[in-house]
Amino acid sequence: MAKQWQNKRVLVTGADGFIGSHLVERLASEGAQVRAFVYYNSFGRWGWLDDISPKLQDKVELFPGDIRDPGRVVEAVASQEVVFHLASLIAIPYSYHAPDSYVQTNVSGALNVLNACRTHDIERVIHTSTSEVYGSALFVPITEEHPLQGQSPYSASKIGADMMAMSFHQSFELPVITVRPFNTYGPRQSARAVIPTILSQIHNGVSELKLGALSPTRDFNYVADTVSGFIAAAQCDRAIGQVVNVGSGREISIGELVKTVIRITGKEVRVVTDELRIRPENSEVNRLLCDATRARDWTGWAPEYSLEQGLAETSKWVSQNLQYFKPQVYNI
């Protein structure tokens, strides 16, 4: 695998984020010439890329910008061979308050990337989707043929982006592959997601763990496995013009997840419902369970981390990085 990426010119958008920073690390370690598109800010900070090893930082070209600016995106794509598009607004609760920003970032941002890739004749574009586009499962496990259901402004914006990506393949023969990860977790994930929410509260010594609904089920995939899924899909000719699910194939309720985390950390807490964390009834996705047969059969990909292994790694990281969390604050 590493040989295929040696000296490959690769752009990663959303490189400063959770999954993006791990993907940048993996690609750089395999010899790729990575251009990391990071969200411009006046503080000179590059998100989680500030935390990667200096040895790898020296191999990465930082490219600040805004995915909503088509001109800057064109500059970023120029001279690249492969583009991984991960830049996105992802917090579901915030999408209830600011849906316009999700359309601008997720739909128009994807359009900017696709247009730029078409202009520069990119040999492969890997577009990032999400299992949230499926909504509450109508059948399980969820295959790539499952209907798409926009149950939140966030998921609706990602459906729009996915359809835009597919349209560029159908209309212009752009070599687009859509990777649809299920619930990725691991080091560097923010407290807008449930696992770091649980762990950051527990490691800060709370006696009451504040959560939303406990009955929904999710398919959690450790970030290293998700990154492997992206790279495997990118190398697969058969995946061009197709969607590829990336998930563990294991379903667990949030309530059972809490019990598992308590066993791993050895710390007892009482779970209380925080009404602020409850989604609108018809917006809640009640069940997600991935069918990753396509990823396995087409690319040979399979997750390597069990949920318990991944939670142990994540727990260790959260406990050592509590300065990044505000457990007393509900982070939408």
pLDDT tens-digit readout, 173-189: 999 999 999 999 999 99
Q: Considering the chain, what is the average pLDDT of its residues?
A: 95
Confidence of residue 159 (pLDDT cuts 50, 70, 90): very high
Confidence of residue 1 (pLDDT cuts 50, 70, 90): very low
Of 84-93, 95-104, 172-181, 196-205, give the lowest mean pLDDT range: 196-205
Whether residue 314 contacts residue 190, with contact meaning beta carbons closer than 8 Å, is answered with no
pLDDT digits (tens, 9 = 90+) for 96-116: 999 999 999 999 999 999 999
pLDDT value, residue 281: 81
Between CA 177 and CA 44 the distance in angstroms is 32
Once rounded to an integer, what is the mean pLDDT over residues 215-226? 96
Does the structure show a pLDDT above 80 at 315?
Answer: yes
Percentage above 70 pLDDT, the chain: 99
Fold of 2-188+222-249+288-304: Rossmann fold (3.40.50)
Once rounded to an integer, what is the mean pLDDT over residues 68-87? 98
Once rounded to an integer, what is the mean pLDDT over residues 280-305? 95
Q: What's 193-245 look like in SS3?
A: CHHHHHHHHHHCCCCEEEECCCCCEECEEEHHHHHHHHHHHHCCHHHCCCEEE
Lookup: tokens for 99:
């849906």
Once rounded to an integer, what is the mean pLDDT over residues 51-71? 95
Between CA 115 and CA 234 the distance in angstroms is 19
pTM for this model (two decimals): 0.95
pLDDT value, residue 2: 56
Residue 40 or 329, more confident: 40
